[in-house]
Amino acid sequence: MTFQHYRQEVLALTMRWVRRLSREKFSMLFTLVQPMLFWLIFFGSLFQKAANIQILQAPNYMSFLAGGVVVMTVLNNGLAGGVDLLFDKENGFLERLMSTPIHRSSVILSRYLFVMAITGMQILVILSIAFVFGVRLETGLPGIAVILAIGMLFGVGLTAISMGLAFSVKSHGDFFSMLGFLSLPMIFLSSALVPLSAMPGWMQVVAMVNPMTWVIDAVRPLIITGWNAAIPQVGMAFVILAIFDAVCLYGGAKAFRRAIG
């Protein structure tokens, strides 16, 4: 197979995901708006006055929360990345697709590209709405590019987890149960909603081994502090994510090979 043929396969399969989402207008709108509407506006406004600015080390709670909302969006999109593949597996379409003369990796790559594109758009929407509410990105446009890069790297590992589960579980009920089991602890046992210094000791320990905390702690200074504080955190996040992605991709590839024989 030539690279040109492989590229056409990936593009065609990616457009299939796009067309599927475009036929579900409400779902498409909800996918883009929900993180911003619920977490940033409702949750941010609710705790704006209750937050201790000295503990947050941010101008206000909305500025502090923006980084957490960005990473929570990546988390939710990544962990949901295998849903459509699971439904394709259950209705037999995936088996028929695999029997055609296409490269099997094109199915996986197309799903990655689709999930990353949606995630990138959501991040830009969240940062735009945060700007409307007075949040100023201290690192400017280069900071947005770094935030997108960090989000994409985190999303790769999360999507690998999701697709690995999709190929491993027997029903979508099991799949969604496991997603809930993974997502809620990762959110609340991280620095997404409160800083580590405000957590009980045992929770701080757990949060420090949560990769989501390292991602948030890299994104947050890009928004509220500036490059001097952000660069060490960003460097550490890239190292953590390289290890995280390698482990997740290995597990996801193993589940994929086992599922398709």
- Which range (71-75, 115-119, 194-198) has the least confidence? 194-198
First to last CA, the chain: 21
Q: What is the pLDDT of residue 103?
A: 86
Q: Provide the mean pLDDT of the chain.
A: 85
Rounded to an integer, what distance in angstroms lies between the CA atom of residue 102 and that of residue 119? 27
Residue type, 176: F
Q: What is the pLDDT of residue 136?
A: 87
Percent of the chain with pLDDT over 90: 41
Rounded to an integer, what distance in angstroms lies between the CA atom of residue 124 and that of residue 46? 23
Three-state secondary structure of 8-35: HHHHHHHHHHHHHHHCCHHHHHHHHHHH
Rounded to an integer, what distance in angstroms lies between the CA atom of residue 151 and that of residue 3? 28
Average pLDDT, integer, range 52-61: 62
Which helix or strand (DSSP H or E) is residue 93 part of?
helix 93-98
| pLDDT single digits (tens) 110-154 | 999 999 998 998 899 889 888 888 888 999 999 999 999 999 999
Rounded to an integer, what distance in angstroms lies between the CA atom of residue 74 and that of residue 148? 10
Average pLDDT, integer, range 208-218: 95
Q: What is the pLDDT of residue 43?
A: 60
Local structure of residue 40 (DSSP, 8 states): I
Asked if the model's pLDDT at residue 163 lies above 90, the reply is: yes
Q: What is the pLDDT of residue 4?
A: 86
Q: How confident is the model at residue 205 (pLDDT cuts 50, 70, 90)?
A: very high
Asked if the model's pLDDT at residue 30 lies above 60, the reply is: yes
